[in-house]
A and B are shown apart, each in its own frame.
Chain A
Amino acid sequence: MGLLFHIGQYFMLLGEVFSKPERRSVYWRRTVEEMELLGVKSLGIVALLSLFMGAVIAIQTKTNIDSPLIPFYVVGFTVRQSTILEFSPTIISLILAGKVGSTIAAEIGSMRVREQIDALDIMGVNSAGYLILPKIIATALINPFLIMISMFLSIFGGWMAGVVTGIISSENYIAGVQWDFDPYIVTYALIKTGVFAVIIATVSAYHGYYTRGGTREVGISSTKAVVYSDVVILIANYLLTQLLLL
């Protein structure tokens, strides 16, 4: 019953969020601010993780399947496939759920317990729309760029690790990255990213918006936002993979 209640309340909140904005210009300005706060400020962690993950995948692949029977291009190929198919869209989205999701839930939760959402409602502002819609649009617009940067940096990280450690030549790595490339996997990854971005923004905002109590409850909401965003992302990942790849 509890789960059904939350699912119902979540979709009712989305109904409020997507109702007509009072002033489009104000909403747009907020969207640009959110793109900076939720997107641009996440670039550092995304870049760092991607570089190192690409490097680790390259080294792991080479050291675990080092056999004369394995073709030369396997390292570059494995880094590309694992990066584009899963690492960048899914793992980075899970990381972003931790960083961005907790920020969203804490911000909205704090506004709730400090009566700022009540103040918006009293003024006649659609508080759900004003607070949540710009975050959804911002994450849905900026996350695909973050993920594309992540894809590039991860593959670049694999190349750097391979060349620097001398386990693979630059030519072989690049040949592997280019081997049997199907552009659809990028489309698949970006569709997933867009869906995960909406999940992160809405699930986190839901937990923040319905925070009751004080600062302790804001902390609990932040934690719940991350946990539930991750769970929903994993379920959506499975469903999307089945829908788009099979």
Chain B
Amino acid sequence: MIEVRGLWKSFGNVEVLQDINTTFKKGKVNQVIGKSGSGKSVLAKCIVGLTPLTRGEVLYNGESFQAMDKERRKALRQEIGMLFQSSALFDSLTVLENVMFPLRMFATMSVPQMRERADFCLHRVNIMGQDKKYPAELSGGMQKRVGIARAIAMQPQYLFVDEPNSGLDPQTSIVIDNLIREITEEFNTTTLVITHDMNSLMGIADEVYFIHNKHLWWQGTRAELVKSDNRELEEFIFAGSLMRQVRKALRGE
């Protein structure tokens, strides 16, 4: 579980996030949505500690990240897996080496055991027979899957996913979404997904967090989202005609 208390973030004089208070639940897919530039990715980076907060604190299972010393933060980060928008695979390493990388740096296991674990993770994301390929030789969807395999290599308690479907075709997006859903349930992770993909939202979200006008404007479950009459949320979610028809169908109108 991750709690965010009174989080404020500004870059110079520009305020990006104001007074964010919420909890991201364990074993659930928590999806943060909002317009481009609304501060979703900044929120994720603040939570994982890549960007310092202007004010507030983030608690991992009740322990304040801001109060942790360097060693404790380092230890906590080994419990965090993150899939980046660009996949962020290391270009100079092969697929197998990328997945084995966190194990090589931190795990106390033999090389054959690391290999076994990496094979398991790659198998889990349906990447087989690509061990020796470099990231540049893979498609965007495959890179994302290798990114997920690397993120789960250390059996994380917390999984962060930034725009998992950007640059992917709808079919591959569904594969990635389902993978995130399955991994969350299988490993009981606290999963936080940053997205503005409505298909992904309707497909896998357990909890939805809408960032608007620098604030956490709305939060609730997917079922509550469909029934919500929050004007800004409606304008964002049901902007497209297809989504409006989906809402009508779901509401039985």
Query: Which residues from chain A sit less than 8 Å from chain B, CB to CB?
Result: 22-23, 26, 111, 114-116, 118-119, 121-125
Contact = CB atoms under 8 A, between A and B. Distances in A.
A124 B78 CA distance: 6
Contacts of A26: 104-105
Contacts of B84: 115, 118-119
Interface of B: 45, 48, 50, 73-78, 80, 82, 84-86, 88-91, 101-102, 104-106, 154, 160
B106 A116 contact: no
Nearest to A110: B91
B82 A116 contact: no
Contact of B82 (A23, A122, A125): A122
A60 B10 CA distance: 62
A124 B106 contact: yes
Contacts of A121: 50, 77
Contacts of B80: 122-123
A26 B97 CA distance: 12
Given A22-B106, A23-B105, A118-B50, A124 B75 contact: yes
A118 B102 CA distance: 14
- The DSSP consensus for interface residues of chain A is helix
Given A122-B48, A122-B80, A123-B77, A115 B105 contact: no
Nearest to A117: B88
A116 B147 CA distance: 11
Nearest to B154: A123
Contacts of A22: 105-106
A203 B250 CA distance: 59
A110 to B, nearest CB: 8
Nearest to B101: A123
Given A23-B105, A114-B88, 15 more contacts: A22-B105, A26-B104, A111-B90, A115-B84, A115-B86, A116-B88, A116-B90, A118-B88, A119-B88, A119-B90, A122-B160, A123-B77, A123-B80, A124-B73, A124-B105
Contact of A123 (B45, B85, B105): B105
Contacts of B88: 114-116, 118-119
A106 to B, nearest CB: 12
A119 B104 contact: no
A115 B85 contact: yes
Contacts of B89: 116
B126 to A, nearest CB: 22
B105 A122 contact: no
Nearest to B51: A118
A118 B86 CA distance: 11
Contacts of B73: 124
Nearest to A119: B88
